[in-house]
Every structure is written in structure tokens, then in C-alpha cells.
């Protein structure tokens, strides 16, 4: 039995903690905040409740696996999972609207043809075929296996060129796919929105980011009853059942090192704790850069602004769960979430709605600038929620500073992507210091609920099975 200290109670770190405890290790989590979950938080006021982090789950298989491997009750017995259908409504700048069904390629093609004109669906479907090629080429090394010792092959673009042979024209950025291959500004906006949602700028994101819409449209979007915070509750409960110990309000200030190995941590206040392994789920610290001078982890420079809206009046029966209102002039693309969930509202005569936008973390803005930005977001959300202004009781704006308070970093890391010269690969789980491991969104395979959950599985695999661990088969 090894003594394992885990830094932070984010989802990635808790996933590692539960698995390590089941393997017979003594696991203690030190969390700087007063609660678990990190980004997966909740804001409550006057009987309204809002997810302050992700509002939907993709690839629930990652959490199903965690629950199967760490106990008797499967995930579905611990949380109420439902597929969101339609997966999303899109409102484009020109006013066109389309509802995309959940995980149905044929349904998506038909919906796009009907809304955008004949041929649009086929172009999107053909694009998804190429996106699938990129997914198949990178799924194992970028999601299911540890980062390869030599990640150079992952620096190459996996998205296939449009035409073979002499007409071969490799796509360079996601935005280029939009103009060259989708040939409709609304389809291009649809593609761009997937990149922005995960924090990537489509103008610079590699074509490899095509795996993001492929992943969502193939494996579906899921809601957790009571809000996504209920998933954090369930993972925390699972950790407690496996006798993981949690110490809250206790930041870790340093990792102790002896003879070139991590041997414990120093807590705020000066106490030290010895450990055989340290798993850090905190934002990866400023590691020394790689020998070629580049950072060891992904640098996106983006975060999220979330506006929680408390509305009077019932949610209309035809409302959809997720609407993406696409950018229009200076107004950003916003995602409007309207879960039909009694747990999130005081009664049936009220509704809680969240509106989220991806923003750059620099230059910094003051409180007034954020309120003005939120005004634009609410105006955009008005295209998804009828009579929004008249129904608004109050709003609460959460900025990247709130994200920093919840997680330790204002930036929200994205999933690992191939291409881009390897710049979008996160830090490896195995840190440069033996005995210190990285889990969570800042490490392989990157940010997002499912990816961070996988990081926990990989770190636990390394510690339990040894350095030769190659991923669970």
C-alpha cells in the first residue's frame, strides 16, 4: 500500500483518487477551496441553481468506466443521465435556424438540407467522413493511451487532404475547412462554434479540431439530472466510499523532492506530508520549457464568461435544451442552456438559464467592461429565449476571475489536439520529476470532463501497473 497525496479535488484528480484507493492505496486529497469539483461548480440564489462549469457531458463512457472500476453501483444508478435531443438549435447571423438531432448523422444531414438548402447536408456529411479519419488516427494516442514518449508524430496534421493525388490540398486551419470544404457561411459558422466552445480560435486551430464536432455528433450530448454538479457529487461520494480522505481549505504550496524524486508536499502554513506518489490535479505549474524552448503544456489564452439568468414565467414547452446563437458583428457566439429540470428553479413558474461565451484572457477587463460584455451576451440570448428582457428577474455574471477562484487558473484548457506543430498537446501525465504525476485538464489528454476523467485513469494506471503502462485495452 502506497501513500498517495492528490493535489486538488477537480474531476480529473478525483477520478485518479478513486481508482488508486480501489487498488489498495492510502489516498489523501488536499483541496485549496472549501468544496470539491473545481470548475464543475454551482451557483444558487433565491431557489434558482445554475451550473457554473460545463452544462453537458460528452463521452459518458469515461465516467461509466470509472464507476464500474471503483464500485458496485454503475454510473446510471448514481446520476440520472439523459440524452439531449435535439442536441442543439443553431441561430445564424442571417436569422436561419436549424435543430440538429442527437447522434444521428442522417438526421443532421436532412436538417441541414432543409434549413440551409439542398447540398448543405451532404457537404457537412462528407466533412464528417474526413473528420472521422482524423479521429480514428488520433483517438488512441490522444484520448485512451499515455502520451507517446516521442510525440512528434502527433505534431502532424491528421485531417485528410480534400482530394487525393495531384489536387491534394491539405487544409491548414479549421477556418479554411469552412471556406474551402463547407462553402456556406452558416456551415462554416457551425464548424467555428465547435472550436470556440472548446476554447480554440478557428482561425488558428488546426484542421485536426474537426474531431470536436465529429465526437459530439457521433457519441451524443448528455445531461445529468440536477445539473452537471451532480456528477461531481457522485464522483466525490464514490471517493468517500473508497475511503479517500479529503482535506479542504488547504492549498499545497510545494512538492517536496529528495534524491531526484517527489517525496511529499508542503501545505500552506508549513506542514509537510510524506508520500510515495504525488498526483497533481492543479493547473500544471510553470514547468521549465522543453529543450526547443516551447512550453510543456497547451497555451490557449481563452476562458469562459457565464451569465446566470433568473427568469419569471414558465419555460415554454417547445424550448430546446441548448441553443447556439452565432456571432453577429461585434456580438460573440453564445451557448444558451435551458435544462428542463425542476431541481434548478424555485417552481414551475420560473426558469433558470445559463449563457456562456468563450473569451480571450488578455487584455484584462474591469468589472464595467464585463458587465457591458454580458449585456451583449444577454442580447444574443434573446434570440433563443422569447421575451427574455421582460422575464428577467436578475442576472449574475461570472468572469475568468471566477474561473481562477474555482480552479487556480483563469484559462480553461482544451482537449489535446494533433497537428499545430504539437503546440496543442498538454503536459504528459508523467512529470519530469519521478513520483510526481499530472492529472486533470492541464495534462494529457487535456481539458473537458471526459478528457480530464481519462487523465485520472491514465495516472492511476501508471501508478498501479508501473512505468510500462500503455493504457487500458
Candidate segments 61-69, 290-298, 377-385, 447-455, binder of ligand FAD by CB under 6 A? 447-455
Distance CA 452, CA 443 (A): 8
Nearest to 205 by CA among 181, 176, 179, 180: 176
**Do residues 160 and 126 lie in contact, with contact meaning Cβ atoms separated by under 8 Å?**
no
- Is there a cis peptide before residue 86, judged by omega within 30 degrees of 0? yes
**Do residues 465 and 457 lie in contact, with contact meaning Cβ atoms separated by under 8 Å?**
no
Minimum distance of ligand FAD from residue 317's CB (angstroms): 26
**Is 414 a residue that touches ligand FAD (CB under 6 A)?**
no
Minimum distance of ligand FAD from residue 225's CB (angstroms): 17
**Is 101 a residue that touches ligand FAD (CB under 6 A)?**
no
Give residues 26-45 in contact with ligand FAD (rule: CB under 6 A). 30-33, 38-40
- Per-residue binding letters, 342-381, with ligand FAD (x by CB under 6 A): ----------------------------------------
**Is 382 a residue that touches ligand FAD (CB under 6 A)?**
no
Minimum distance of ligand FAD from residue 14's CB (angstroms): 8
**Is 448 a residue that touches ligand FAD (CB under 6 A)?**
yes
Binding residue (CB under 6 A) for ligand FAD from 120, 447, 459, 461: 447
Closest CB to ligand FAD among 11 and 134? Answer: 11
DSSP β-bridge partners for residue 81: 224
Candidate segments 120-128, 175-183, 290-298, 439-447, binder of ligand FAD by CB under 6 A? 439-447
Report residue 281 as a C-alpha cell: 490535479
Distance CA 387, CA 26 (A): 54
Closest CB to ligand FAD among 193 and 282? Answer: 282
**Do residues 367 and 325 lie in contact, with contact meaning Cβ atoms separated by under 8 Å?**
no
Burial 234-256 (b: 16+ CB within 10 A, else e): bbbebbeebebebeeebbbeebb
Nearest to 400 by CA among 411, 386, 391: 411
Grid cell 464548424 in the structure block, residue: 191
Query: Could you write out the DSSP letters of every residue in 365-396?
Result: --HHHHHHHHHHHHHHHTTTSTTHHHHEEEEE
Query: Could you write out the DSSP letters of every residue in 284-331?
Result: PP-PPPPTTS--SS----EEEEEEEEEEESPPPTT--SEEEE--BTTB
**Is 281 a residue that touches ligand FAD (CB under 6 A)?**
yes
Closest CB to ligand FAD among 264 and 281? Answer: 281
Minimum distance of ligand FAD from residue 293's CB (angstroms): 26
**Is 449 a residue that touches ligand FAD (CB under 6 A)?**
yes
**Is 5 a residue that touches ligand FAD (CB under 6 A)?**
no
Closest CB to ligand FAD among 5 and 182? Answer: 5
Site residues, ligand FAD (CB under 6 A): 7-13, 30-33, 38-40, 53-54, 251-252, 281-282, 304, 306, 403, 407-408, 412, 440-441, 447-449, 452
Amino acid at each position: 500500500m502506497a501513500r498517495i497525496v492528490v493535489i486538488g479535488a477537480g474531476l480529473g484528480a478525483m477520478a485518479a483518487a478513486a481508482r488508486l484507493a480501489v487498488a489498495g492505496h492510502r489516498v489523501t486529497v488536499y483541496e485549496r477551496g472549501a468544496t470539491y469539483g473545481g470548475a464543475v461548480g454551482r451557483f444558487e440564489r433565491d431557489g434558482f441553481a445554475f451550473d457554473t462549469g460545463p452544462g453537458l457531458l460528452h463521452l459518458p463512457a469515461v465516467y461509466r468506466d470509472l464507476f464500474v472500476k471503483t464500485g458496485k453501483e454503475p454510473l446510471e444508478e448514481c446520476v440520472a443521465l439523459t440524452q439531449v435531443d435535439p442536441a442543439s438549435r443553431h441561430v445564424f447571423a442571417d436569422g436561419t435556424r436549424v435543430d440538429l438531432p442527437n447522434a444521428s448523422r442522417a438526421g443532421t444531414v436532412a436538417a441541414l438540407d432543409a434549413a440551409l438548402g439542398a447540398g448543405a447536408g451532404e457537404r457537412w456529411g462528407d466533412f464528417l467522413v474526413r473528420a472521422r479519419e482524423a479521429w480514428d488516427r488520433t483517438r488512441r494516442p490522444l484520448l485512451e493511451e499515455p502520451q507517446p514518449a516521442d510525440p512528434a508524430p502527433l505534431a502532424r496534421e491528421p485531417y485528410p487532404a480534400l482530394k487525393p493525388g495531384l489536387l491534394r490540398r491539405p487544409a491548414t486551419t479549421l477556418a479554411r475547412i469552412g471556406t474551402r470544404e463547407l462553402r456556406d457561411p452558416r456551415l462554416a459558422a457551425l464548424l467555428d462554434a465547435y472550436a470556440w466552445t472548446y476554447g480554440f480560435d478557428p482561425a488558428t486551430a488546426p484542421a485536426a479540431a474537426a474531431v470536436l464536432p465529429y465526437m459530439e455528433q457521433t457519441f451524443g450530448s448528455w445531461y445529468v439530472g440536477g445539473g452537471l454538479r451532480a456528477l461531481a457529487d457522485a464522483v466525490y461520494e464514490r471517493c468517500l466510499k473508497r475511503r479517500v480522505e479529503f482535506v479542504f481549505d488547504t492549498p499545497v504550496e510545494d512538492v517536496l523532492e529528495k534524491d531526484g524524486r517527489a517525496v511529499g508536499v508542503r501545505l500552506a502554513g508549513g506542514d509537510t506530508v510524506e508520500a510515495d506518489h504525488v498526483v497533481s490535479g492543479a493547473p500544471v505549474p510553470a514547468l521549465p520549457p522543453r529543450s526547443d524552448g516551447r512550453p510543456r503544456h497547451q497555451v490557449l489564452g481563452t476562458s469562459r464568461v457565464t451569465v446566470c439568468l433568473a427568469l419569471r414565467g414558465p419555460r415554454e414547452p417547445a424550448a430546446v435544451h441548448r441553443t447556439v446563437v452565432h456571432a453577429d458583428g461585434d456580438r460573440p457566439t453564445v451557448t444558451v442552456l435551458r435544462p428542463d429540470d425542476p431541481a434548478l428553479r424555485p417552481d414551475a413558474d420560473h426558469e433558470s438559464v445559463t449563457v456562456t461565451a468563450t473569451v480571450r484572457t488578455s487584455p484584462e477587463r474591469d468589472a464595467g467592461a464585463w458587465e457591458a460584455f454580458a449585456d451583449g451576451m444577454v442580447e444574443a440570448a434573446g434570440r433563443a429565449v422569447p421575451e427574455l428582457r421582460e422575464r428577467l428577474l436578475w442576472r449574475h455574471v461570472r468572469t475568468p476571475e471566477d474561473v481562477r477562484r474555482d480552479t487556480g487558473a483563469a484559462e480553461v484548457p482544451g482537449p489535446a489536439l494533433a497537428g499545430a506543430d504539437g503546440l496543442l498537446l498538454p503536459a504528459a501525465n508523467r512529470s519530469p520529476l519521478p513520483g510526481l504525476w499530472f492529472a486533470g485538464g492541464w495534462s494529457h489528454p487535456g481539458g473537458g470532463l471526459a478528457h480530464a476523467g481519462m487523465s485520472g485513469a491514465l495516472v492511476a494506471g501508471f501508478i498501479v501497473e508501473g512505468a510500462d503502462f500503455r493504457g487500458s485495452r
